[in-house]
Amino acid sequence: MMEPALDFMLQALPDHTGKRLLIADEQLDTQALLTLKPIPDLTLLTNRYDLYLAAQENNIPCQFNDMDLAELNDRYQLIAYRISKEKALVHHIINQAPHYLAEQGQLLLCGYKNEGIKTYISKAERYLNTRAEVSKGERQMKLAAFTPQAPGEPLDDRHYRDLVCIGEPDSLALYSKPGQYGWNKIDKGSEALINACREYVNATQPPSTVLDLGCGYGYLSVMAWALGAKHIVATDNNAAALASCRYNFEFHNIPGEVIADDCASDIHHQYEMVLCNPPFHLGFDTRHDLTEKFLHSISNHLKNNGVAFVVVSQFIALETVAPGYFKSIELVSRDKSFKVFKLSS
């Protein structure tokens, strides 16, 4: 079933003519993508690699990047956007919209009251110097259409394009940027994972090869390199995460590579160690099935006698799912928020 706010917005697309741009992140799944095929003159911009691949397979024009409209090198009669979870990203897209709309082109924004849509509409009205035409849907959903005039002061997007140092654990600078989950902090769960990994490495030896599955800005990769890992492959589905992680690899001269992929589905090597802090949110919703997807990938990418360290939130029952994929499941640390497991096949 398609996400309701996205569905409400997509129903409005056929009412517009000319070139149309749909901006999509976690709210659009690959099944919903099929509903876009009959819409002419439609281009998709996404920061998700899995959506980019699915669009290619279905011959839907699509660009994969960190939500940079300039790379499309075009103007549109309509730019449609179901708002994201992160405020900086929403502001970044609203700021760009008037510069890539054709004359009398429109921006569509859709979302719920508890996601901040009312505030975003007010801010966009001030910035775009226009009044929105607002349609209402179920559960305090709103769809707003803007015809921008001369734009004013841009919204605060937290310097969306800039990479900034967010900390120096163990004197190792870490760079990140908006557009990815937990971008401006060192995740406590990942910190717990690395502490467990450090104890293991100190008792054995550093692994020759490491896969950082769902790497984010690369915290686990940088720390694994500091522990002596010889070669690290980091992969993520999100364009902002990949940009940050690549920068950290270059900054620290980490031997390895950063690869765009959906849960390492197109990576066919196996590794002595896999490190993973899997997501359990998809947009505004919690998704327990994501954990199993990542466990399946870990089992496929772990060498015989290899070891994986995985951290999950307390409410994720990894211990009930993992036995289907691993012979050994050891809970190595636990606090009020996170559980760290050591897995081996």
| 159 domain-assigned | no
CATH number of the domain bearing residue 256:
3.40.50.150
* One domain for residues 100 and 217: no
* One domain for residues 244 and 319: yes
How far is it, in rounded angstroms, from Cα 19 to Cα 63? 15
pLDDT of residue 329: 97
Cβ neighbours for 75, distance < 8 A, ≥ 6 positions apart = 19, 100, 101, 102, 105
* One domain for residues 187 and 284: yes
Average pLDDT (272-282) is 83
Number of domains comprising the chain? 2
Confidence of residue 1 (pLDDT cuts 50, 70, 90): low
* One domain for residues 114 and 182: no
Identify each DSSP E strand in the chain by its residue range: 20-24, 42-46, 62-64, 76-82, 101-112, 133-136, 141-146, 164-167, 174-176, 209-213, 231-236, 256-260, 271-276, 281-282, 285-286, 302-313, 328-334, 338-344
145 neighbors 80 (Cβ within 8 angstroms) = no
Instruction: Find the domain containing 62 and state its range.
Output: 4-146
* One domain for residues 324 and 197: yes
* One domain for residues 88 and 201: no
pLDDT of residue 288: 53
pLDDT, tens digit, 9 for 90 and up, residues 72-101: 999 999 999 999 999 999 999 999 999 999
Share of the chain above pLDDT 90, in %: 88
* One domain for residues 190 and 274: yes
pLDDT of residue 282: 47
Strands 302-313, 271-276: parallel, antiparallel or unpaired by DSSP? parallel
* One domain for residues 176 and 312: yes
| 155 domain-assigned | no
| 334 domain-assigned | yes
| Statement: residue 253 has pLDDT above 50 | yes
How far is it, in rounded angstroms, from Cα 267 to Cα 254? 19
* One domain for residues 32 and 106: yes
* One domain for residues 135 and 169: no
